[in-house]
């Protein structure tokens, strides 16, 4: 519910959450317009639904956004006539409703803007829809641009940071529930269900992604979603899950041991934890993401497990679970104040199992603030 | 777990489900190859993840499938080395694993097939990926084809029908839970959460789509997802939800009255129910979907509510919640034995509310079999 321009009161579940400052739509649009100038186009067509939500505030399931150097429009269908106008009031987007023929309405309106070249999200728009739009908007020319909104979205405004923190707090409570529940004899899927229900009761809209509970040898699968396998004494259990709150995701991983851990289990946990600490220690405004990845990777390599760490060290989190920046060996991203990222090194040994530890950090001018903190020692349940 | 070629034993939750016959992969591939011949291409590149699952049995999150007149290959990444081989054993697809450069592996393999023209899913493949694939596979030519697998998937094999029935049974149990729970004072979101948790406990992997609970005036929004609005005495409540089981979806809608219904509420429920009955009565192999839509639509129109029924009468359901056939005024689909469809007329009056009734039917040689049956009279809780 909008209280007054740019100020929000949201009530969810049993709690009351007051957010003083609304989304900084003006700054988001400014960022996108910088991108428009940089790419040498006269405007951008945006069809990715999370990009639309980010720019306009509209939470419906489909629509088109056109942003030019001096115009900002949202096109959507009759299902959303009321909703679109309410939700876009703070962002100031002009709303145009279509009944059946979206491209005709788009063409009629955008055709009058005298644009020469419109950019579009080359990674999002399907080949067929691109062809249809191009034909409907003739003689306007089109240029594919790879995720033009991603760079803007990577830096979160205070409104977004608040929501990600709330999402993280729900997730933290979910892991506490896992720690109270997890024991030998349960199935992986049973543990996942229990944690997911708990997070829903704590206010989550849903999960950020399919919960991973990978026990014993299955821990060697970096994406071993919860199965009907029963958890056994002595096994490590990798639990990777996330909550979604008001559209914003959280994403953490914990690795537990069922019963007393052996020396190798403790050792590998220690290597991964130290790798994570070294990565986190480097995160600050201005640092290259590739160096943060390198800090984790070189530690794991030095310990002799280099070939068992196949994925990147982390990624941005927001309206999407995976967004910019990317923290990997090939990343060209540079950290900026306000980015929110995961840090999640892991070691996966086929036939033995795996350890992954993942927390989320907010990049600051000087260092970073951890939204969650995994334990230094392997937790034995 | 694969017991022997084409025979499956699946154990989920507390129950044991034995499915005698596995998916009919041979017939699926035959259907796709007919499409290849019909479209005049030498093969098809498939990237839609549910189409890949349908053709190959592979349940991973990404990959490429290439089917030619005599070859059938799945390309996926190192995360799925073991899983892809196990899951594709019954379908007989050749698996090729890539580590980092999928398009190089694709080109190296497909380049040797001496094809001239490959079809691709024009509605699925992004513009950028199309360009990259085209460049990597030069001088192979490409033709966009609109959902080449949809026609094959529209007719379900017995294996699929079993899973959809199981999904429907879980959903039915979810609606019983709603009936025991729903009362004045609860929030729409609270009712949705309660039903969703119940279905998960009954074996659902998740929901088929975001649960709709739209009470009072909100019932006039055909897609009014559950909100924090409290349900009041005297209101109609439209509940539209679905379960997912082993990848297969179900989708039903019930409309309830909280307390005693008034004459108009009962009357409109009766009109919608009669419209649904008329549509169902027509469904059989060989009938045009547009006629089934017409049967429901003309009844609602005759009753004076024509302008309050804006959407189609139904759609196919399977691995996707919305798939072929489409049952609407512009549909060109013809019913075939083995199709599974929803029948869901509705009346939505702005400022008053709405009624929608939705069941699922399996098309038979002679008539159809209802998987669920909504009550003839408005249920007052």
Residue of B nearest to A1 (CA): B228
Query: How many CA atoms within 13 Å lie on the side-chain side of B159?
Result: 20
In order, the DSSP letters of B1-59 are -EEETTEEEEEETTEEEEESS---HHHHHHHHHHHHHHTT-SEEEE--HHHHHHHH---
Residue of B nearest to A204 (CA): B193
B224-248 CB burial, b ≥16 within 10 A, e <16: bbbeebebeeebbbbbbbbbbbbbb
Mean pLDDT of chain A: 92
The DSSP code for B126 is: B
Q: Angle at CA A15, nearest 5°, toward A12 and A19?
A: 70
B362 - beta bridge partners? B340, B369
Alpha-carbon gap, residue A62 to A77, rounded angstroms: 8
> Which residue stretches of B39-157 are H helix?
49-56, 81-87, 102-110, 127-136, 150-154
Structure tokens at A190: 């049973």
Indicate yes or no: CB of B123 within 8 angstroms of CB of A130.
Answer: no
Burial of A158 (C-beta count, 10 Å sphere; 0-12/13-18/19+) = middle
Q: Give the nearest partner residue to B128 out of A122, A222, A223, using CB atoms.
A: A122
In tens, the pLDDT along A63-101 reads 999 999 999 999 999 878 888 999 999 999 999 999 878
Indicate yes or no: CB of B124 within 8 angstroms of CB of A124.
Answer: no
- The confidence band for B20, taking pLDDT boundaries of 50, 70 and 90, is low
pLDDT score for B99? 83
pLDDT exceeds cutoff 50 at B258:
yes
pLDDT score for A80? 86
pLDDT exceeds cutoff 90 at B141:
yes
Indicate yes or no: CB of A131 within 8 angstroms of CB of B125.
Answer: no
Q: Give the nearest partner residue to B228 out of A12, A146, A310, using CB atoms.
A: A12
Q: Angle at CA B157, nearest 5°, toward B154 and B160?
A: 90
Which chain B residues are closer than 8 Å to A17 by Cβ? none
Which of B11, B76, B121, B128 to substitute to test the interface with A, most A CBs within 10 Å? B128
Q: Smallest CA–CA separation between B197 and chain A, in Å? A: 7
Which of B47, B81, B126, B210 to substitute to test the interface with A, most A CBs within 10 Å? B126
Structure tokens at B309: 């029924």
pTM: 0.87
Query: Which residues of B make CB contacts under 8 Å with A?
Result: 11-12, 61, 78-79, 83, 120, 122-131, 144, 146, 193, 196-197, 200-201, 221-223, 228, 310
**What three-state secondary structure class fits B298?**
helix
Is residue A19 a contact partner of residue A159, using CB atoms and an 8 Å limit? Answer: yes
Which chain A residues are closer than 8 Å to B193 by Cβ? 200-201
Which chain B residues are closer than 8 Å to A214 by Cβ? none
pLDDT score for A2? 32
Alpha-carbon gap, residue B232 to B259, rounded angstroms: 9
pLDDT score for A257? 98
pLDDT exceeds cutoff 80 at B210:
yes
* Phi-psi label, residue A228: left if phi above 0, alpha if psi -120 to 50, beta otherwise: alpha
**What three-state secondary structure class fits B230?**
strand
Alpha-carbon gap, residue A197 to A298, rounded angstroms: 39
Indicate yes or no: CB of A128 within 8 angstroms of CB of B130.
Answer: no
Which chain A residues are closer than 8 Å to B78 by Cβ? 310
In tens, the pLDDT along B39-86 reads 999 999 999 999 999 999 999 989 999 999 999 999 999 878 888 999
Mean pLDDT within B211-234: 90
pLDDT score for A83? 85
Residue of A nearest to B142 (CA): A127
Q: Give the nearest partner residue to A146 out of B128, B221, B222, using CB atoms.
A: B128
Which chain B residues are closer than 8 Å to A79 by Cβ? 221-223
Nearest to A317 by CA among A246, A248, A223, A240: A248
ipTM score for this prediction: 0.85
* Phi-psi label, residue A166: left if phi above 0, alpha if psi -120 to 50, beta otherwise: alpha
Q: Smallest CA–CA separation between B195 and chain A, in Å? A: 12
Q: What does R_g of chain A's alpha carbons equal in angstroms?
A: 23
pLDDT score for A11? 41
Poorest-pLDDT segment among A87-91, A199-203, A224-228, B330-334: A224-228
pLDDT exceeds cutoff 80 at A223:
no
Peptide bond into A189 cis (omega under 30): no
Q: Smallest CA–CA separation between B337 and chain A, in Å? A: 31
A316 - beta bridge partners? A323, A341
Mean pLDDT within A220-238: 90
pLDDT score for B83? 86
Peptide bond into A325 cis (omega under 30): yes
Residue of B nearest to A223 (CA): B79
In tens, the pLDDT along B155-209 reads 999 999 999 999 999 999 999 999 999 999 999 999 999 999 999 999 999 999 9
Burial of B52 (C-beta count, 10 Å sphere; 0-12/13-18/19+) = buried
pLDDT exceeds cutoff 50 at A203:
yes
Alpha-carbon gap, residue A337 to A120, rounded angstroms: 28
Alpha-carbon gap, residue B70 to A380, rounded angstroms: 54
pLDDT exceeds cutoff 90 at B105:
yes
In tens, the pLDDT along A115-157 reads 999 999 999 999 999 999 999 999 999 999 999 999 999 999 9
Is residue A68 a contact partner of residue A1, using CB atoms and an 8 Å limit? Answer: no
β-strands B94-98, A340-343 pairing? unpaired
């Amino acid at each position: 519910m909008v209280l007054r321009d740019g100020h929000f009161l949201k009530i969810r579940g049993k709690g009351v959450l007051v957010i003083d400052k609304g989304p900084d739509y003006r700054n988001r649009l400014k960022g996108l317009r910088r991108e428009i100038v940089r790419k040498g186009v006269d405007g951008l067509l945006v069809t990715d639904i999370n990009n639309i939500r980010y720019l306009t505030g509209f939470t419906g399931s489909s629509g088109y956004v056109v942003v030019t150097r001096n115009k900002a429009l949202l096109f959507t269908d009759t299902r959303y006539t009321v909703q679109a106008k309410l939700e876009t009031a703070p962002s100031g987007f002009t709303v145009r409703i279509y009944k059946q023929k979206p491209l005709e309405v788009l063409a009629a309106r955008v055709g009058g803007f005298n644009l020469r070249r419109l950019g579009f999200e080359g990674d999002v728009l399907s080949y067929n829809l691109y062809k249809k739009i191009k034909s409907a908007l003739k003689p306007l020319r089109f240029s594919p641009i790879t995720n033009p909104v991603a760079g803007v979205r990577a830096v979160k405004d205070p409104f977004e940071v608040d929501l990600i923190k709330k999402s993280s707090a729900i997730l933290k409570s979910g892991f506490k529930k896992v720690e109270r529940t997890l024991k030998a004899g349960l199935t992986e899927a049973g543990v996942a269900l229990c944690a997911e229900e708990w997070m829903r009761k704590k206010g989550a809209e849903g999960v950020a992604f399919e919960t991973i509970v990978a026990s014993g040898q299955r821990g060697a699968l970096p994406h071993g979603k919860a199965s009907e396998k029963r958890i056994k004494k002595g096994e490590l259990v990798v639990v990777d899950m996330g909550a979604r709150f008001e559209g914003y995701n959280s994403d953490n991983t914990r690795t537990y041991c069922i019963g007393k851990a052996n020396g190798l289990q403790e050792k590998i946990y220690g290597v991964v934890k130290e790798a994570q600490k070294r990565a986190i220690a480097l995160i600050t405004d201005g640092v290259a993401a590739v160096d943060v990845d390198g800090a984790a990777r070189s530690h794991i390599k030095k310990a002799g497990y280099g070939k068992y760490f196949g994925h990147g060290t982390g990624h941005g989190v927001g309206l999407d679970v995976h967004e910019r920046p990317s923290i990997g060996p090939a990343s060209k991203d540079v950290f900026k104040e306000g980015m929110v990222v995961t840090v999640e090194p892991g070691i996966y040994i086929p036939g033995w199992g795996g350890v992954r530890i993942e927390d989320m950090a907010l990049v600051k001018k000087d260092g970073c603030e951890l939204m969650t903190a995994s334990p230094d020692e392997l937790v034995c349940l």
